[in-house]
Amino acid sequence: MAINVRKKHLFLLLLCLLLIFGFFTFFGDKGILHLLRLQKELARIKEMNIKMEEENQRLKEEVRRLQYEKRYIEEIARKELGMVKEGEIIYQFDLPEDKKE
């Protein structure tokens, strides 16, 4: 009888240890759930990194064009600053009332 009680206590002790170990395996600081969150964050950061690299390439191309293409600078001056070449005449037309909206 005493052996059966010892086996039950040993079994309960092992069961408790396994439950505690399982809890920390899933929910601990280095557990599976934490690992899954880190993997999601890594994927998000990689995606953001790709977008930034694309933006950097676009900006490098714009810098290159601003440095070496006179026509590009002229185009920007015309669009953003409303500049015209010497001797050019600008015609402005008012839109009809029904087209203004």
Let me know if residue 77 belongs to a domain: yes
Residue 74 lies in a domain: yes
Poorest-confidence range of 50-54, 56-60, 64-68? 64-68
Query: Does residue 98 lie in a domain region?
Result: no
User: 59 lies in which domain range?
Assistant: 53-82
| Residue from 87, 83, 62, 82 nearest 72 by CA | 62
Indicate if the pLDDT at residue 100 is higher than 90: no
pLDDT at 88: 84
- Which residue matches tokens 């402005």? 92
- Distance, first Cα to last Cα, the chain: 95
The answer, yes or no, to whether residue 83 has pLDDT greater than 70, is yes
Counting the structural domains of the chain, the total is 1
pLDDT band with cut points at 50, 70 and 90 for residue 27: confident
Owner of token pair 């409303």: 82
**Does position 65 have pLDDT exceeding 90, yes or no?**
yes
73 close to 80: Cβ distance less than 8 angstroms:
no
Residue 16 lies in a domain: no
Residue 60 has pLDDT above 70, yes or no: yes
Q: Is 101 a domain residue?
A: no
